[in-house]
Chain A
Amino acid sequence: MSLSGLEGRRVIVCCGSGGVGKTTISAGIALALANRGARVAVVTIDPARRLAAALGLAELGDDPRQVPIGPTGGSGELWALQLDAKATFDRLVCRHAPTPEAAERILANRIYAHLSGAVAGSQEYMAVERLNELTDDPRFEVVVLDTPPAQNALDFLDAPTRITHFIEGKSLRMLLSPGAAAGNLGWRMLHAGSSTVFSILERVTGAQLLRDLSEFLGAFDGMYTGFSERAERVRTLLHSPRAAFVVVSSADDEPVREAVMLVERLTADGYPLGPAVMNRIRPRADLPPPPRHALVEALAGAGATHADDLADRTLAQLADDEARARRDHDACTRLARLLGDREPVQVPDFADEPVEIAGLEHVADALAR
């Protein structure tokens, strides 16, 4: 790479299918950049407990905390935080509401409580929103974002548009009173009961749900601009050369396919691609297997009661390891070919899951190699 492709970027987004080790790689990239003297914040989403503990996030910090790391040979700093979608949404509302009373009204609305607390949708949106906040924060030169688990690994890119559309109430406004382009939405909606579509919907949802919805959208009146401006800012940033998308995969079939789809989609949509990372890659053996008789002899000498049997199992294990390593190697080659012969960065499969700073240093080293 390796990391040279990422130097000078303001935002690094790690994406890939579930279970490939995105969080570990995000933390590894952040650590590697900090080791090179950058002030880095990594936004993690549901990190493993020991990783969270290593990053100082044991008590679910939504606030960035500085992680103690070794000497960085400069001003390098590593900060970490865990995404808290609800807290981020609440802050956003308080910041953009015209008055404290308006903010209160939104925070107390039942629809809002479900919307902000729901995992589906809001987490993706809030990851993007948190990115906005952190890139404004002068403490950090680089923000590394781990993306939320989703059916589609890029859901979070569409989330801002989807949620702002809903909050802006464009669709509802047009649905409920097609002539109304502006004006006090809450009022209009409450008085739109006579419109045909409204009454059809009301038959299904019951009047109260629609009333809550009108209130909710009414409470957001006047905040739309703030919301859509911020969504637009992130979109611009993520399309600029100051951002880089790192696609992470393991050698398994499904993640590789997903990685290829991600690369295609990111390229088609004009997002800047960073290097691809292949995680948990097993090295090919550099030696042939030992002759069976020599192994049997060595095991018998070490006190094995059934040296033949143990030798056979050992040789079988060696063959299995080689088969896996060959498969991993092939997957890397396949991905490289699909990426136009850009070699993915390989992170080896460590004997123990890298969930402590010492382990992350190994990941960082592999990434920086």
Chain B
Amino acid sequence: MSAPGLFDRRLIFVLGKGGVGKSVVAATLGTAWARAGKRVVIAEVADQHRLSDLFANREETRNTPTELAPNLFGFSVDVDKSTEDYLAAHIRVRPLVDLLVRSRTFHNFAAAAPGLPELVTLGKVWELAMAVDGGRPVWDKVIVDCPATGHGIALLQTAGNVSELAAQGPVRDQAHRIEEVVKHPAATGIAIVARPEELPVTEAIDAAAALRADGFPVAATIMNGMTPRRFWAEDASVLGRVPGGDPTITAAVRSALRADHHARIEQAHLDELAAGTGTTPMVLPDLGPVVIAQSELALLADALDGAPRSLRPVGHP
């Protein structure tokens, strides 16, 4: 498929400003790869449950992979449960673990301790990427649907922060192992999502720079929600010459000119995303005022695969 920057990496973080459609992009990538025969899991973090909506899946999937479509699984990371697993793995004496996790004070501490929920979340994702069964990796692709930019970057940085804060001990060792994987360009790719608007593009460019400065492999950018272009320069000059008079014609011409104006703005944002991140953004079209579910995801995955335009015109259900 046409996601060359992400093709050979196992662990994919999907990052971007709130509202740009990270979950839809994660689900689209997952759909495209699953169709190509890869075994894919999409990890949702920080208590989002967008996947179950997108795939009309009624089941709760806390810390267990749930099949959403053939080859495609969802995994909702539960921080409390993961913290318990994490402690169990390190303490190994069950009664002691129980003593800790049963105490409410520990939960208060765990919820507020800087970086702990993020570390545990990242640790869970790392486990998915490292899981091996019979000498083969369990998952070909682990896609992480990250929280909004700032929190998403914090999630990625947490392993580095913790390994720096804790000079020695098991937490430090594991944080360090996680950091190595999430920074390794052969294992991990970060995909930054934007919409063709000023703020999401600026945020994507800033995020790419910040992550690269920190040694993270920014592998791709995705422009989500580009309006399929309907008018071109020569159309605009014709439309501009239509004389006033009939108000219905004037309104129609205005609508077309506005769409053309909007398309130019979107194109400028796309160019800016490309130039500002040094990437060739993948483009996902705007599907119009529809509720996105599995069949829309299939259309978006077609677009990602560079299939000939199989899209319905915007707004015609």
Contact = CB atoms under 8 A, between A and B. Distances in A.
B138 to A, nearest CB: 26
B166 A203 contact: no
Given A20-B19, A151-B148, A324-B289, A120 B252 contact: no
A207 B238 contact: no
B91 A200 contact: yes
B70 interface: no
Interface string A110-126: 11001100111101000
Given A298-B249, A324-B288, A209 B255 contact: no
Contacts of B172: 206, 209
A52 to B, nearest CB: 10
A162 B112 contact: yes
Interface string B259-296: 10110010000000000000000000000110100000
Contact of B19 (A115, A174, A255, A304): A255
B168 A120 contact: no
Contact of A200 (B100, B117, B262): B100
B202 A48 contact: yes
B8 interface: no
B255 A317 contact: yes
Contacts of B167: 206, 208-209
Given A19-B20, A298-B249, A121 B169 contact: no
A220 to B, nearest CB: 13
A182 interface: no
Contact of A204 (B169, B203, B265): B169
A120 B19 contact: no
Contact of B91 (A150, A204, A212): A204
Contact of A175 (B47, B90, B109): B109
Contacts of A253: 291
A206 B168 CA distance: 6
A92 interface: no
B249 A285 contact: no
A59 to B, nearest CB: 16
B7 interface: no
B233 interface: no
Interface string A342-369: 0000000001110100000000000000
B115 A114 contact: yes
B36 interface: no
A65 B87 CA distance: 49
Contacts of B246: 290, 294, 298
A291 B246 CA distance: 11
A166 B112 contact: yes
A285 B258 CA distance: 14
Contact of A18 (B18, B114, B256, B291): B18
Interface in A275-316: 285, 287-291, 294-295, 298-299, 301-304, 310, 313-316
A63 to B, nearest CB: 22
Given A17-B19, A18-B17, A316 B171 contact: no
A319 B314 CA distance: 9
Contacts of A301: 242-243
A320 B288 contact: yes
B137 interface: no
Contacts of A290: 246, 248-249, 251-252
A302 B18 contact: no
A83 B191 CA distance: 27
Residue among A165, A313, A314, A315 with most chain B CB within 10 A: A314
Interface string A226-264: 000000000000000000000000010111000000000
Given A114-B165, A162-B112, A294-B249, 12 more contacts: A18-B20, A149-B17, A149-B148, A172-B105, A202-B169, A204-B90, A255-B19, A290-B246, A290-B252, A303-B238, A313-B231, A318-B255
23 contacts: A17-B19, A18-B18, A19-B200, A46-B150, A49-B198, A119-B153, A148-B150, A162-B112, A170-B105, A197-B106, A205-B171, A206-B170, A206-B171, A287-B248, A290-B246, A290-B252, A295-B249, A298-B243, A298-B249, A314-B252, A314-B253, A321-B255, A352-B265
Interface of B: 17-20, 46-48, 50, 87, 90-91, 96, 99-100, 103, 105-106, 108-109, 111-115, 117-118, 147-151, 153-155, 161, 165-172, 195, 197-200, 202-203, 230-231, 235, 238-239, 241-243, 246-249, 251-253, 255-256, 258-259, 261-262, 265, 288-289, 291, 313-316
Q: Which 4 A-B pairs have the closest CB atoms?
A: A18-B18, A19-B19, A206-B169, A166-B112
